[in-house]
Structure 1
Amino acid sequence: MIIGSGINALVAAAELSREGRDVLVCERNSRAGGAIRTESDFPAPGYTTDVFSCWHPLFVGGPAHPGLRDELQRRGVVYRNTDLPAGVALADGTTAVLSTDTEATATGLDDLHPGDGDAWRGMLEQFGQRADLAFAALGTELWSVDGMKLGARAARRLGALGTLEFAQSALEPARAWLRRTFAGEGARALLSPWIGHNGLGPEDAGSALINKVIALALAQGGCPVPEGGGIRLVEALSGIVRDAGGEVRTGADVSRVLVEDGRARGVLLCDGERIGAREGVLASVTPQALYFDLLADEPTVPGSVRAAADRYRYGRGDMQVHLAMSEPPRWRHDHERLSRTAVVHATPGLDGVSAAVSEADRNLLPSSPTIVCGQPAALDPTRVPAGGGALWIQLQETPFRPTGDAAGDIDVGDGQWTPELADRYADRVLNRLSQHIDNLDSALVDRAVISPADLQRANCNLVNGDPYAGSCRLDQFLLWRPMARAPGHRTSVAGLWHIGASTHPGPGLAGASGHLVAQDIIGGTGVRSRLRRWLPG
């Protein structure tokens, strides 16, 4: 039994189905996919739009993809990519682009500030030598025998002092690392906005590690999107389940996990149907939903765990703005490169990212937010009519309940995200973006604005419009995700696993938590499995 149908749930369902398990996925909404949602004729006829998540570098480069790749390809999943995954446009006309060609990136950074090219090469070389440890930490059940083996491997390779140094660097804020490594603002502006794609800011502990991980992943793997939208991946994973005899059932809202003698035995649907589970239940939900709804009044759950779940925090909200355009965006500066770039950040730079994060954390509408400009049609032209263009805009520094406007121009009223408030804030964003894109107004066909409140209504895991299902600040990340009292994916209820973005290794479309739990179940016999039960989580 799998509750929810996001990427982690579907990866687990597909892997378990291929191993002969009898799988049932229950999704409360009318369609599967969770935060992967593709709409046709949106925001205008002839346009195909990934409404929430869009980019799949973490899945293509993650632990689940290698084992599923051939089957997904047979089912029509085709990934489109570019050699220019990331770029930045600054207010003064400065631009920078991150290429999968190391020398091209280095040359561009040197043109902006001599020496930054060597700094880029050095970062890729130095961090690349230890990157396997960082990526392994994000793809391993840390509270397990495998986690202990990873720690031992790191200690053997790096030595005691080297391990201590690596741990210290993993805790460093991105601002300190960026300022120490790159002398020019162009390189700092190119890299710093990517911290927001994990819900962090440049001053947060551990943000330098996330910055390096994302930068290396982009430099090595680009920023792929599935042709035709994320729905293709959802359909393929669901097809693997169904063809193996399993079921992906939509409109099936689970109200309780049924527990007998301390073990999960099935679920109760809101319509009263009881469904038994012979082997176990996987719940792709938030900690509060798990411990206060699905396990309400369950005596085997310690009070300390419920208290910890109650303290689980959510991060900043997110806003999406989707533009249908009659022609591709015309970038005012460096159009030849930026027009081919998957994701361009329009930002004042490192200090601007910090300022927008600080304002949003204080529940203010940022005066100059970081504008994430995704250009999926530059990679996948099938998403727009012939000759058309599109922009997938994300605003990751958006408070769920704004108490004011940092610029002093917008009346936020009582802080509720009304359509009028969302449109006014979107107007500010597009006015700023028009400084970088010449035809933003003249080529606009239609637009759709999705507020943090809309996100929460669309997906109950996106509490407060947080697209990452929980703050990824250090006390809720790695060893401590989702909670120090209940880390990892096993719960105090035998046969019940917790998966999803709220669990390790966190958000993104890697499907890693579903993969880890599926492999735990598949290999769930013998000494290794028994040893796991001695560890937290």
Structure 2
Amino acid sequence: MSAPHLIIGSGINALVAAALLSRKGEPVLVLERSAHLGGCMRTEEITLPGYRHDVMAATFVLFLTSPAYGELAEDLGRHGLEFCHTAHPTAVLRPGGQSAVLTMDRAANVAAFEKLASGDGRQHEADVGGIEADAGFLFALLGNPLWSFKMARLVAGQAWKRGLNELKAWFGAALQPARGWLEGSYSSPTLQALWAPWVLHTGLTPESTYSGQMGRVIAFALEAAGAPVAKGGSGSVPEAFRKLIEEKGGAVRTGVDVSRILVEDGKAVGIETSEGETIRGRSVIASVTPTQLYERLLEGNDSGKSASKYRYGRGNFQLHYALDGDPDWIAEGLEDVALIHLADGIDSVSKSANEAERGLLPETPTICVGQPHRLDPSRAPEGKGILWLQIPDAPRIIKGDAAGEIEAGPEWTEAVSEAFADRIEAVLRRHIRNFDRIKLARKAYSPADLNAININLVGGDPYGGACTIDQFFIWRPFAHSSNSATDIRNLHMIGASTHPGPGLGGGSGYNLAKRMGA
């Protein structure tokens, strides 16, 4: 057997690259530091026996709409991968009980949003219709290698088709912050509140450049493809990949900590593990953060001088519940919604994000509540339930508490984590009538806990680094970056820290595999 492509890490990008390369007959070896395959795709019984919780990643709309899934769906399905759906992907529930629900039926959404405020339904139709009309160009920008002749031809073609001035206007509109989009387009505060929290899931805030365009993209994707969950838990996704890779002659090893990339004459030739094992390879594909790559795996190498300046974003806080039944929400129509945000509107989302970015525990966190057992009954015993809570606004390093109630800083301790969980639970209790009666157990994960589980979640940042425009698109991870290339031959970097950024789309792994002939 010829030397394999060595892939460090087993997140979605690493698995996509490994699957595509192995399908083409290329030898691959995936090396995962953890005992669990899949990076942020992990399912465990962390509260009570029989309650299966997705510890981190939970929904797969980006994967289902990706070119990677388009090519791999049939093979992964053969190996047991199934997705469960609901017609109601998302909703918002405000403190006063006002709510809005998005369905996968555009006409129904238009009618419902018109009832919230005249003109808002038509505006939604225009927003998602605009994304649909521009899908070919927009998703090429968001998913394909940006620094390439193919992309240059694509942009040139758009300039010819639209005219330079119209193309300039298109890019200008795409850079609009979500606050400008929502306040300038929708009259209903509840409809504004439906979309404002979603920009947090892209690592942005309502004031961030291009967050408005990302909000529109999310609205389109959720309406078109929903918010599917993997049957049996997100951990079933890497297991299907494992079976596919091994079927095609590749290999997957867990519990292997790669400590160093071997470089000879400016060329990556293999890796060394923390146990002293040396493995030679034809190439090294590192699905890691810049600091992990340049300050650990390439320690002493001058090729990553910019890594020390790379910035990470807000941390993530996870909270999981085992329930003795279904939640009785204070608003109707939420029982089968996949993801419900508890937020009052643009200002509340902006406030919590700003507090977290300043190192404070948010006074009123923006909370995303998932009900995976409503889509996939296998997640809990019959008649029972689970909740998956993600709080995308948590400080990586704590400077204080915005409410002045929790003594904290700078580290996340168990006491601080539990006190913050109590704050979140108090919000949850106000939105679920029967919460105290059905609550059985809970498990919290602070940003520090998540970092301990996955070395690439630096400070609990699940997005591989701050997603501000200065280190996104062609500037991700560095201003001088060019797709997945590094200054070392045969060494490639993929993952959330590279274009097209975070999420479960597998884009950087897909792009690299295609450039390598898969």
Write the mapping of 1:63-462 to structure 2, written as runs, cut at 5 A.
Answer: 63-278=67-282, 280-298=283-301, 301=303, 306-334=304-332, 337-412=333-408, 414-462=409-457
Rounded Cα–Cα distance in structure 1 between residues aligned with 2:250 and 2:42: 22
Cα distance in structure 2, aligned partners of 1:204 and 1:183 = 21
Q: How far did residue 42 of structure 1 move? A: 2.5
- 1:138 counterpart SS class: helix
Judge conservation of contact 2:61–2:222 (CA < 8 Å) in 1: yes
Report if aligned partners of 1:141, 1:488 keep a CA contact under 8 Å in 2.
yes
CA offsets 1:447-479 (integer angstroms, 9 cap, x no match) = 000000101111110001101110111111111
Rounded Cα–Cα distance in structure 2 between residues aligned with 1:201 and 1:359: 12
Deviation string 1:132-153 (CA, Å, 9 cap, x unpaired) is: 2221112101112222232223
Amino acid at match of 1:95: S
Listed as ranges, the matches of 1:460-499 within 5 Å are 460-499=455-494
- Output the CA distance in 2 between the equivalents of 1:157 and 1:437: 52
1:11-30 alignment, distance < 5 Å: 11-30=16-35
User: How much has 1:155 moved relative to structure 2?
Assistant: 1.8
Q: In structure 1, what is the Cα distance between the partners aligned to 2:90 and 2:10?
A: 29
Say if 2:30 and 2:251, in contact at 8 Å, map to a contact too: yes
Distance 2:153 2:257 in 1: 39
C-alpha distance after superposition, 1:149-176 (max 9, x if no partner): 3222322332211110111011111100
**Contact 1:140-1:146 within 8 A present in 2 as well:** no
Q: Following superposition of structure 1 onto structure 2, how do residues 56-67 of structure 1 map, counting pairs within 5 Å?
A: 56-67=60-71
Deviations for 1:206-241, whole angstroms, at most 9, x for unmatched residues?
A: 111111111110011101111001121101111111
Matched, 1:6 2:7: no
**What is the distance in 2 between the residues matched to 1:308 and 1:341?**
43
Residue 198 of structure 1: how far off its partner (Å): 0.9
Partner of 1:534: none
Q: Deviations over 1:109-132 (max 9, x none)?
A: 222222211111111222321132
1:375: Cα distance to partner?
1.0
CA–CA separation in structure 2 for the residues paired with 1:479 and 1:154: 19
Q: Percent identity?
A: 43
* Structure 1 counterpart SS, 2:134: helix
Q: 2: CA distance between counterparts of 1:235 and 1:154?
A: 41
Over the residues paired in the alignment, what is the CA RMSD in angstroms? 1.2
Question: Displacement, 1:290?
Answer: 1.2
Structure 2 residue identity aligned to 1:296: E
**2:3 aligned partner:** none
Q: 1:419 & 1:448 partners in 2: Cα distance?
A: 11
Unaligned runs of 5+ in 1: 524-537
Distance 2:136 2:384 in 1: 41
3-state DSSP class of the match of 1:282? Answer: strand
5+ unaligned residues in a row in structure 2: which ranges? Answer: 1-5
Preserved CA contact (<8 Å) 2:128 2:217: no
Distance 2:131 2:234 in 1: 31
Taking structure 2 as the reference length, the TM-score comes to 0.97
* Equivalent residue number for residue 529 of structure 1: none
Contact 1:109-1:186 within 8 A present in 2 as well: no
